[in-house]
Amino acid sequence: MSQLVNFDVLDSAFMANPYPTYQRLHQDDLILFDRTMQAYFVGKYDDVNHILRCSDFTTAPLAERAQPVMGDRVLAQMEGSEHAQKRKAVLRGLSGRYFQNQHGPLIESISRALLTPFLNQGKMDLVNDFGKDYAVLVTLGLLGLPTENHRQIAAWHKGVADFITRLDLTDEERMYSLACSDQLSSLLKPIVAYRNRHPGDDLISLLCQVGHESGGMTTNEIIALCLNILLAATEPADKTLAMLFKHLLDDPARFAEVKDDRKLLREAIDETLRLTSPVQLIPREASIDSVISGVTIPKGAMVFNMIGAANRDPKVFVDPEQFHLHRRRDAKNDKLKKRHLAFGTGPHVCLGAEFSLRQIEITANVLFDSLPNLRFAKGFQFSEHGLYTRGPDSLQLVFDHSDVPLPVSGTLKHSDLDEVRA
Ligand code: 2IO
């Protein structure tokens, strides 16, 4: 039976580094309770796995956590045939020929374009120079949205993401998040209207076709689904990419092994997601009194599933604190071959999982091929932050620079201007 102990999720030591608490949770078999939030925090693999699959625990918390900034329900709030139908439509737009013909090539060209200005500088911050623009641009691409104002969209996205993923928002910050959400809706509205009239070969057009026989989706529903995708695809992408390179560069032999045998990239990405899950928490609500590891969780209680903790459960993962590239290959038995929970599990398991793995794989390949002798910048100090979603603050890299010729944009020389200057 687990022991129920009080803890403060906003404690600064926990926020700075939750991993020692996760370790203690496993060692001493704990379920944590935050009195201020009136929420249970569950972190053992079997408990989290059970809760995410069990219909006694619902996604009701999203009505407050997400719906206000999404403008309508997100996929995770739906069930039955509505859920199945909409999931299928989004999944279709992310995979198959859509990925082959559109998303894959786009991800590669975005990666190359963002990298180019840094090639002759020999240094780059993988989070702040590359990853943040990258994450938004890929998402805009997959939604078929214009990209001219991607920095502005990124700023609005951050406002919306903060609403969902921060546990300490002030009223003022909540207002700001809602304003960001309004901005994004206004941006999407005419695009959805346009795609309703002129369907193209893009995800929004696909959504406009959903359930056409049975009345279809309202513009509001489509906008909410777009915001859902915008957030879910953007927020974890730069974090995962940077964490992957952090783990690889931590051990030069490991880096070389993957660089030389790209079939290992998937394993490396998977192990990155397990060890440092970009999404750390998944909220649920108990719809009836439930017993989890002997502890009664009363009806109506909020339960945060700490997937970042479950992914380090020593009962399921040998040496859970270590990055082990060949973890699955070397797992001795089926119990130890269990999947990490970074994408959740159960009916609401991440529908973008396969897309995101392919996305990071494509970009990692571009980085391997374009950045010779890649290593951490001298004196680089790693730090990360985030309770709900978590990732590096920066990842300062250096590499051997190649002299990329600058594109020739015209024939005018500065000296040609002498006569008008005089
Ligand atoms: C948008 C939290 C980044 C999702 C969410 C309210 C619903 C759902 C998730 C993930 C990741 C985001 N929840 N994606 O945890 O769509």
Residue 421 C-alpha to ligand 1 middle, in angstroms?
Answer: 57
Burial letters for 406-419: b for 16+ Cβ neighbours within 10 Å, e otherwise?
eeeeeeeeeeeeee
Q: CA-CA-CA-CA torsion for 184, 187, 193, 196, nearest 10 degrees?
A: -70
Residue 124 C-alpha to ligand 1 middle, in angstroms?
Answer: 29
Query: Does 205 have pLDDT greater than 80?
Result: yes
pLDDT, tens digit, 9 for 90 and up, residues 96-151: 999 999 999 999 999 999 999 999 999 999 999 999 999 999 999 999 999 999 99
Confidence of residue 404 (pLDDT cuts 50, 70, 90): low
231 lines ligand 1 (CB under 6 A): yes
Query: Which of the listed residues 52, 160, 350 should we mutate to test ligand 1's pocket, taking the one with most ligand atoms within 8 A of CB?
Result: 350
Supply the pLDDT for residue 406: 62
Atom 10, ligand 1: residue with shortest CA distance: 232
Q: Which atom of ligand 1 is nearest to the CA of 161?
A: 3
Determine the average pLDDT of the residues in 188-202.
94
In terms of Cβ atoms closer than 10 Å to its own Cβ (0-12, 13-18, 19+), residue 390 is buried
Query: Does 291 have pLDDT greater than 90?
Result: yes
Q: CA-CA distances (angstroms) from residue 44 to 7, 51, 292, 333, 342?
A: 16, 11, 10, 19, 14
Q: Two tokens at 184?
A: 């994004």
Number of neighbouring beta carbons within 10 Å of residue 319: 10
Give the mean pLDDT of the chain.
95
Confidence of residue 216 (pLDDT cuts 50, 70, 90): confident
Residue 81 C-alpha to ligand 1 middle, in angstroms?
Answer: 21
Supply the pLDDT for residue 421: 79
Question: What value does the CA radius of gyration of the chain take, rounded to a whole number of Å?
Answer: 23
pLDDT, tens digit, 9 for 90 and up, residues 380-400: 999 999 999 999 999 999 999
Supply the pLDDT for residue 408: 65
Determine the average pLDDT of the residues in 166-189.
97
pLDDT, tens digit, 9 for 90 and up, residues 219-242: 999 999 999 999 999 999 999 999
pTM as predicted: 0.94
Residue 232 C-alpha to ligand 1 middle, in angstroms?
Answer: 5
pLDDT, tens digit, 9 for 90 and up, residues 15-74: 999 999 999 999 999 999 999 999 999 999 999 999 999 999 999 999 999 999 999 999
Pairing, β 290-292 against β 281-286: unpaired
- Looking at the chain, the whole-number percentage of residues with pLDDT higher than 70 is 98
Atom 2, ligand 1: residue with shortest CA distance: 232
Which residue did the predictor score with more confidence, 118 or 403? Answer: 118
